[in-house]
Amino acid sequence: MRKLKLQVQVSIDGYMAGPGGAMDWLTFPWSDDLDAHVDALTEPVDCILLGRRLAEGFIPAWAAGPEGEDQASIDFMNDTPKVVVSDSLTESPWENTTVAGGDLAETVRGLKERPGGDIITYGGSTLVGNLVAGELLDELHLFVNPVALGSGLPVFPDTGAHRRFRLVDTRPFDCGIVALHFEPRRS
């Protein structure tokens, strides 16, 4: 069965975006060792899962070929089929993208049961929060940036329940980011 992986950049205090969705705190440029790590992480991926609000910026930005990004990353982001989770869209305005509405757990189960490689999600915050709360993620890859924000959009929503994870690996990179790889502990 396919795995659903979360890849997200976070602050050391657990936010995936600052107040109002600010992303000006991210560490750039990435070092070569981090680029190689991300390439290895995404190599088995053949589907990207996104929330609607993130998709509205993410898909057009990659389609434009962002300055400073290597062509292999641009091609991966554009060529990999995407599924956008949305109850407000009925069809996709983007190429190579389908829309899935309704029950998130059912959507994720359906994607995992299809043949193919792994699925990766980058967010946004509502989707990630729902995936965490629904215990739908198989791997969490947190790229911890050396900054504390104090407030913003958390990776882990307050569900009133503890979520337990097993640390699989840690890896510091030359640019100052540290990757934490976790798997959920399922009861």
> What is the CATH number for 36?
3.40.430.10
Cβ–Cβ < 8 Å for 5, 141: yes
Question: Is 59 domain-assigned?
Answer: yes
DSSP string for residues in 108-144:
HHHHHHSSSSEEEEEE-HHHHHHHHHTT--SEEEEEE
Closest to 21 measured CA to CA, from 149, 172, 177, 160: 149
pTM: 0.94
DSSP string for residues in 16-32:
EE-GGG--TT---SPPH
Question: Is 183 domain-assigned?
Answer: no
Rounded distance between C-alpha atoms, residue 48 and residue 83, angstroms: 6
Q: Which domain holds residue 11?
A: 4-178
Q: Name the percent of the chain lying above pLDDT 70.
A: 99
Question: Is 185 domain-assigned?
Answer: no
Question: Is 51 domain-assigned?
Answer: yes
Angle between helices 125-133 and 104-113 (to 10 degrees): 80
The mean pLDDT of the chain is: 94
The answer, yes or no, to whether residue 40 has pLDDT greater than 80, is yes
Chain-centroid distance, C-alpha 140: 9
Number of domains in the chain: 1
Identity of the residue numbered 160? G
Question: Is 133 domain-assigned?
Answer: yes
Which pLDDT does position 124 carry in this prediction?
85
pLDDT tens-place string over residues 102-158 = 999 999 999 999 999 999 999 888 999 999 999 999 999 999 999 999 999 999 888
Q: Checking phi first, is residue 109 left (phi over 0); if not, alpha (psi -120 to 50) or beta? A: alpha
Which pLDDT does position 69 carry in this prediction?
87
- Across 39-65, average pLDDT: 95
Question: Is 186 domain-assigned?
Answer: no
Q: Checking phi first, is residue 100 left (phi over 0); if not, alpha (psi -120 to 50) or beta? A: beta
Rounded distance between C-alpha atoms, residue 156 and residue 129, angstroms: 6
Question: Is 65 domain-assigned?
Answer: yes
CA separation (Å) from 103 to 58, 60, 87? Answer: 23, 26, 9
Question: Is 122 domain-assigned?
Answer: yes
